[in-house]
Each structure stands twice: as C-alpha cells, then as structure tokens.
Structure 1
Amino acid sequence: MKAHIITIGDEILIGQIVDTNSAYISKALNEIGISVYQISSVQDERDHILESFAFAKANSDIIIITGGLGPTKDDITKHTFCEFFNDELVLSQEVLDHVTHIFKAYVKRPLLEANKTQALVPSKATILTNRFGTAPGMWMEQDGKVFISMPGVPHEMKGLMEGSVLPKLQEQFELPYILHKTLLTYGMGESALAQRIETFEDELPATIKLAYLPSLGRVRLRLSTTGTHKEEVDATMQIQLEKLKPLIEDVFVGFEEKGPLEVIIGNELVARSKTLAIAESCTGGSIVQRFTANPGASGYLAGSTVTYATRSKTEVLGVDEALIETHSVVSAQVAEAMAKQVRDLYDTDYAIATTGNAGPTKGDSEAPVGTVYIGIATREGVKAYHFMMGTHRERVIGKAVNKALELLHEEILKN
C-alpha cells in the first residue's frame, strides 16, 4: 500500500519554514506498514492543488495533506476539496462547538466570524477532532482511495496522526510489516565501507535492500525488508545482521533505532555511573547541544563551557597564557589543557574539548582553516587528536562534532 504526502503552503516553497511534517508522517506510516510513494509541496493555489490531488490519486492508495486549513482567505484547501470531490461546505455543529469551547476556555476573547468558518467542512468528510486546535482533520474516500487532510501546525498534525489517522488506517486496511535496521558507523568513508562489505552486499537475498547514508564523518547502513509475517521478517533480518556486524565491528557504534551516538554515549555513561564535562571553542556549543537535546542528560552531563575567545580560555578555564603564546590557541597543547581544566572544574570522569579554525578567516591563530584539535581527558590522563576538516565552515564544525563524539565513545568503551 502506497501513500502520497502533500504539504500545502507558499511558506515552504520560499524557504521560510522547513517541512518537518512530511518526515514525521513518513516515519509514522512506515512503522504501520505503509510505504510513501512521493512527497510534494504545492502552492496555496487552486490549480496546483487540484493537479496534485489527481496525480496522487492515480498513483497512490492514501493521500495525506497538511496545511491550508486556517480561517484566512489564503487557506483554500477545503474549497479545493469540495471541487475535487464534487461536494459542498456545510456547517458542522460538532466542530463549531469545539471551536467555541477552545475560545472560551483558552483564548479568552470573543469568537470572530472568521473563526466560525473553521466549522465549515465538506459534507462527505468524516471529521477528525483536533484536540490541540480549531481546524478539524478530514477523512474522505473516492474510488477506493483515501484522502486525509490535517492542519499544518506540527503539534496539531501529530495529535491527529496519533489519535485518529494511524488507528483508523490500521483498522481499515490489512497492512504488511515493514522493518528497517540502521547501523551507525563512524570513522570510515562510504567507498571504503562499500568495498569492505561488497561480498555481503552481493549475497543479500532479493527481499532485503541495503542503503548507504553518508554524512559528516559517519555512514549509516540501512537494511530494509517487508513481509506478511512479522516473525519471519525479523528472523530473516537477524540472519543478515549477524553476517554484517563482524565485518564492521571496528567502526560500528550501535543501531539508529536506539538513538544517535550521543544517546548511545549517554546510556553507556549512565550504565557505568560515569560523568562528562565539555569545553568547546570552534564547535561553539554544538556538542553539548547534541546531548542536552535528549531527556536524561542531567544524569551524566555535569556541565560545559563555550570558551570561544582566547581570553575566556584563560579566565574561565584557567588555561596557562604562556601555553597559548608558545603553541597557539589552536594546538594540541591547548586542547589537552582545555579538556583537563574542564574535567577538574566539574570533577568528572570524562571531558572533551575542541579548539580549531573553522574559517573563513584565521582568527587568533595562524593555523590553516579547517585545523581542529580535540582533547579527551579522563582521571588517568589526557590526549589530543589533530584533524584537517576542509575549508567549508559548517562542514568543519559538523565534522568536528561527530569526530569528538566518536573519540569519546571509543574512550568510554576502553573501560
């Protein structure tokens, strides 16, 4: 069974907002056995929407639309729905009562006529109650195809997906079981990795697909398969995983299903009752942000500093000025000192530090653009690692963050 996701809104097409809705919907559909055939973003324009509806209907079984359901004149999805389904808008007392309740309980101001238009829905639509907003979700069927329309506001859309759409799809259709296993690898490029597992890839059964997903300093290997019986699919996948893992043992850090590397590191620190501190310069807080974006970070992350300027390294961390004058602020010696000082400051088991030149200018050091030093400190000692990360500023920072996480993970696994 195939789905087509359509996002409606000029704000997406001009780059004003990022379409996170499609990513969420795709993942949610995949988890219940529905493959996404295509994702489209279209203008708030009648002809464009109608063309997208017609194409989606011809090529997919389920069409999910987000956006264009607001109370203003530029939100035309409901009107276009009526035209496509040869329908008309009618007042839904259920929706009107819901909108009235929201304004009375939460908005605390009079209901405007524009807000009352939220209660106008196509007569053929099944209403999906939006617990978090005024625009209802709508479910319509034609020629065996299902059209589902939801607001574009992410938390409203997610509430409708989880509370109404997914359960209704599972109830109405007999869906296959889709399984993805994504292995995280660090420290080896895509080409080298492909060469290493070439024989494994050639011998994969036709029912399993392998995809390489490279990014800065890491490659994800995704194995995908589908079937009718969950037990058989799981067993087939497990056989291939047991063949693959020994081939990449030195670069494999875990499964993406268990979370990104920072989550894996956090879990390992908690399991070992160990703590971490971070001192960042060239990465500007990006490493600590990766950790604190996940719940439970306070269980192992003691604290961090972003000592971006040279002066802050001496005044906040206590790095010796003479060390900086002798070796430069971008050096192995300063990276080691930063890691040691921040570990002492927070009295942690591990500490990580970055100093480098991300560009485009050299700043306080004559080190070439792309130079990065990463320091790792433990209670037993400290060591710095030197890298050249290229000349593109964002890529330098991204590579430095990923490499720092990789080095920290390796250090933790030594104990």
Structure 2
Amino acid sequence: MKLILAEVVTIGDEILYGQITDTNTQWMSTELDKIGIKTVRKSSVGDQEDKILQILAEAESRADIILLTGGLGPTKDDITKKTLCKYFNDELIINEDALGFITDFFAKRGRPLTEINRLQAAVPSRCTYLANKTGTAPGMWFEHNGKIFVSMPGVPHEMKYLMTNEVIPRLKTFFETPIIYHKLIRTIGVGESFLAEKIENWEDNLPEHIKLAYLPSFGQVKLRLTAVGSDENQLKKDVDDEIEKVLPLIQPFVFGFDTDDLEVAVGKELKKRGLTVSAAESCSGGYASHMFTKVPGSSAYFMGSVVSYDNSVKIKVLGVKPETIEEHGAVSEETVIQMAEGVRKLMKTDFAIATSGIAGPDGGTPEKPVGTLWIACAMEGRTIARKVQMATQRDVNIQYASVVAINLLRKMMNGDYES
C-alpha cells in the first residue's frame, strides 16, 4: 500500500519574526499520523506572493497533501487567497454559503457587516468551501493534478475545528492510507552511540516494514519503532516480537515504554513495593522533588525534601559535618553522601536522594569546573554516590542532576549497585 505524504506550510511574517509560536504544525502532524499519513516536510513562509508560489510548487513536487495555515484575515497583508488564485489560475468569487454564515455571525454579535468583512466570503471559484463555524476565515479544499491542497486559518482553535470536522474526514475518504504504528522503548543512563553499538546487529536485521529512530534527551534515549502496513494487529505483533529480541541486550537501561516518564515509572515501582523516598537538593534546587510531586498520587511514596542551598542548612538541618564541608567542599562525594543519609533519617524514608553541584554559569574552579555534579542515593545499610560532569548551561545541569538522581534510585531499587 502506497504511503501518503503530506507537507504542512505556515504562512505569516509573524511566525518568521518569532512573534508567535507555531503550535499548528505539531498538532496537525500528530493528527495526520493517526490516519496513516506521514508528514515529510514542515515549512514556514512570509507574506510574500513569490515566496508562497515557490513553496507551493516545491510542496506539490514532493507531497500528496499540502496543508496551509495563515494569511486568511480581512486585511491587506493577508494574501493567501489571492496567491492561491494565481497558483491555480483562478479568480475569487463570493461564496453564498460563506456569506450567509458571516452575515449571521456578525448579526448575532450585534455588529455591522462591513465590506472588508463581506470579502471574507470570497474564495477561489475552483475550491470546495469548508465551513469554519468558529470564525470568519474560510477553509478551502482544492484538488489539483491528483494532489490535495487545503488552506485554513492560522488561529489554532479554528484550524483544529476545520481539521477535525472537515479535512480529516475528507482525507480518509479520498486516500486509501496504510496504518502507521509507533512503539517507544525508553532508556536512561546510556549514550546514543553506545546504545547503537549494542543493538547494531538487531537493527540491521529489522524487517523492511519496521524502522528505528533514536530520540535523545536529558540523560535518556527513546528508541522509536515505526511499522507501516495494512493490519494493525499484525503490526503490533511484529513490533512486540522485535522488542522481545532487543530487550535482553539493553534491559538494565530500560525503564518504560511509550508515555512512561522516568518519575512515573519509578513512582509506580515505589508504590508497588510499599517504599518511600525523600530528597536533599542543593544544585537542583527542588527540581527532583518537582518531578516526583507533579505525578498524581505521589504522596503515597514521596515524603518530602530539603532544599539545602546554603551550607548552613546542610549542617543544621541535614546533619552534614562542618569539617566535611571544610575539608572536601560542598560539592563532593563525602558531602552528598551525608546529605542523602541525613534527609533519609530526618524524613524516616526507605530511600533518599541528594544532589550537590556547580550549576553555573559561574562559580567553577579548575578542580571543580561548572557542570560538576555529585549525586547520591541512600538506603538502609548502603549509600552510593556518583560524579557527573556536564556542561555550562544552568538549566541543563539542574534537570540532568535530577534525572540522574532519580535513575540512581531506580537502579538501587533493582539491586544494581555497581553500574
């Protein structure tokens, strides 16, 4: 079955200037994927006729479906309709259905229908008018050289209404689309290149209809398996079979699948085992605690935290020895171990995590440069600390320290005290 390809084009100078954030293309691509249509390109173009004409021609050459958003307002800077007329050698006409809707739209609001508003009902004569019941800008559907062009407003809720109620149903009727099935394997604590080496032979022997992608983020790599075919149940079975083959190669690094976040997966395991955890945070400033507490029901296992940003709090609240900080510094293995053990004793929890580091952008030394992070996890009779060297970006270091700390907790719960 032929894979149907789509290109999404956003029109408007405001997008290129960075004055608004384009959320449309992500949402549209997700909805297209659900019906077996693959988005091959996302483009943005300003309010310039020649540039829009150029991108329309390019999109037509590589996609079956071209979806446009933006440039449909009533003012002179909105030129999409006129440009579409030029591209299709067409002319604008007043669509009576559109005019009736717009007239009623303004009447219900007690506002006069101006000539500019009336021109919102003008659409290219060759298009199929798509009723936008959430605004005055029309949706327009074109069939041209076996390709589908759809123009919609750039306002997100108007675009979503048209996509949901008009465009998606028509595309499902017009095209016979395959099923696209995705499955994510979520790993942590292993680099992308190292992971690729471990599964190289498995990856090389994947069936032709299953593709693999590596999606790295903070300390994590998601492996996305994408299968394309006509039988959803068979695709799921094929992907599950491949996962069964690869898991023995990477099991220590796997913490979940699909939408499982690390903190959710760890929280589920804590709750399942009836265990509790607390946190002592310095460089992460409470971010690890935030990760835990944003999960509904986390009060069942997360007892609390101490943000010991100043050394006096480490000493007075957590019980870190003054001589430890004097001799080794706040950013050290010895200090972070005492932080973890201190908060565990204070909160009376089964586990405790701790972070201390130099988040940056300044404060580093030749011995302890910015990005030096010490992480610890304590349990009854055992405390493990790990040193991590990251970069100079403060927000990255804060998030990374939190992720590493929670992952160390995950590993200790699973009896992994060495890696």
- TM-score grouping bracket, smaller chain normalisation: 0.7 to 0.9
Q: Answer whether contact 1:79 1:89 (CA < 8 A) is retained.
A: no
| Cα separation, 2, equivalents of 1:99 and 1:343 | 63
- Structure 1 position 62, deviation (Å): 0.9
- Rg larger in structure: 2
| Cα separation, 2, equivalents of 1:100 and 1:408 | 60
Cα deviation code 1:113-161 (max 9, x no counterpart):
4666655544523324354x55444333223322223333444444443
- Structure 1 position 248, deviation (Å): 0.8
Matching residue within 174, 177, 182 for 2:176: 174
Structure 2 counterpart of 1:329: 330
Q: Answer whether contact 1:99 1:116 (CA < 8 A) is retained.
A: no
- Structure 1 position 174, deviation (Å): 1.7
| Cα separation, 1, equivalents of 2:243 and 2:69 | 37
Opposite residue 268 of structure 1, the aligned amino acid is: E
Q: Which moved more, 1:27-36 or 1:211-220?
A: 211-220
Q: Answer whether contact 1:281 1:354 (CA < 8 A) is retained.
A: yes
SS in 1 for 2:330: coil
| Cα separation, 2, equivalents of 1:218 and 1:172 | 40
Structure 1 counterpart of 2:151: 149
Q: Which moved more, 1:189-198 or 1:332-341?
A: 332-341
Q: Answer whether contact 1:339 1:376 (CA < 8 A) is retained.
A: yes
Cα deviation code 1:340-388 (max 9, x no counterpart):
5655676655543322102232179973322112233457765432222
SS in 1 for 2:66: strand
- Structure 1 position 78, deviation (Å): 3.0
Structure 1 counterpart of 2:102: 96
Answering whether residue 28 of structure 2 is matched by residue 25 of structure 1, we say yes
TM-score (norm: length of structure 2): 0.81
Structure 2 counterpart of 1:404: 405
- Structure 1 position 253, deviation (Å): 1.5
Aligned ranges 1:375-394 → 2 under 5 Å: 375-378=376-379, 382-394=383-395
- Structure 1 position 37, deviation (Å): 1.9
Q: Answer whether contact 2:375 2:386 (CA < 8 A) is retained.
A: yes
Aligned ranges 1:274-293 → 2 under 5 Å: 276-290=277-291
Aligned ranges 1:2-401 → 2 under 5 Å: 2-85=5-88, 86-90=90-94, 92-93=98-99, 95-96=101-102, 99-100=105-106, 104=109, 113=114, 118-123=120-125, 124-131=127-134, 134-255=136-257, 257-272=258-273, 276-290=277-291, 306-310=307-311, 320=320, 322=322, 324-339=325-340, 350-362=351-363, 367-378=368-379, 382-401=383-402
CA shift in 2, pair 1:10/1:244, >3 Å: same
Opposite residue 106 of structure 2, the aligned amino acid is: T
- Structure 1 position 305, deviation (Å): 5.7
SS in 1 for 2:187: strand
- Structure 1 position 189, deviation (Å): 1.8
Opposite residue 90 of structure 1, the aligned amino acid is: I
SS in 2 for 1:369: coil
Count of aligned pairs between the two proteins: 407
Q: Which moved more, 1:297-306 or 1:349-358?
A: 297-306
Q: Answer whether contact 1:138 1:149 (CA < 8 A) is retained.
A: yes
Opposite residue 176 of structure 2, the aligned amino acid is: E
Q: Answer whether contact 2:209 2:228 (CA < 8 A) is retained.
A: yes
SS in 1 for 2:283: coil
CA shift in 2, pair 1:407/1:19, >3 Å: farther
- Structure 1 position 391, deviation (Å): 4.0
| Cα separation, 1, equivalents of 2:163 and 2:305 | 38
SS in 2 for 1:258: coil
Runs of 5+ in structure 2 lacking a partner? none
SS in 2 for 1:249: helix
| Cα separation, 2, equivalents of 1:291 and 1:134 | 45
Opposite residue 410 of structure 2, the aligned amino acid is: H
SS in 1 for 2:356: strand
Cα deviation code 1:158-193 (max 9, x no counterpart):
444344433332233221011222211211222222
Opposite residue 360 of structure 1, the aligned amino acid is: P
CA shift in 2, pair 1:44/1:244, >3 Å: same
Cα deviation code 1:31-70 (max 9, x no counterpart):
2211112111111222111211122122211111223334
Q: Answer whether contact 1:336 1:353 (CA < 8 A) is retained.
A: yes
Q: Answer whether contact 2:130 2:140 (CA < 8 A) is retained.
A: yes
Opposite residue 227 of structure 2, the aligned amino acid is: T
Opposite residue 372 of structure 1, the aligned amino acid is: L
| Cα separation, 2, equivalents of 1:241 and 1:66 | 39
TM-score (norm: length of structure 1): 0.82
Q: Which moved more, 1:282-291 or 1:238-247?
A: 282-291
Q: Which moved more, 1:60-69 or 1:387-396?
A: 387-396
SS in 2 for 1:250: helix
SS in 1 for 2:284: coil
- Structure 1 position 313, deviation (Å): 5.2
Q: Answer whether contact 2:67 2:150 (CA < 8 A) is retained.
A: yes
- RMSD between aligned residues: 3.6
SS in 2 for 1:147: strand
* Seq. identity, %: 45
Opposite residue 48 of structure 1, the aligned amino acid is: K
CA shift in 2, pair 1:165/1:409, >3 Å: farther
| Cα separation, 2, equivalents of 1:297 and 1:79 | 55
SS in 2 for 1:209: strand
| Cα separation, 2, equivalents of 1:56 and 1:24 | 19
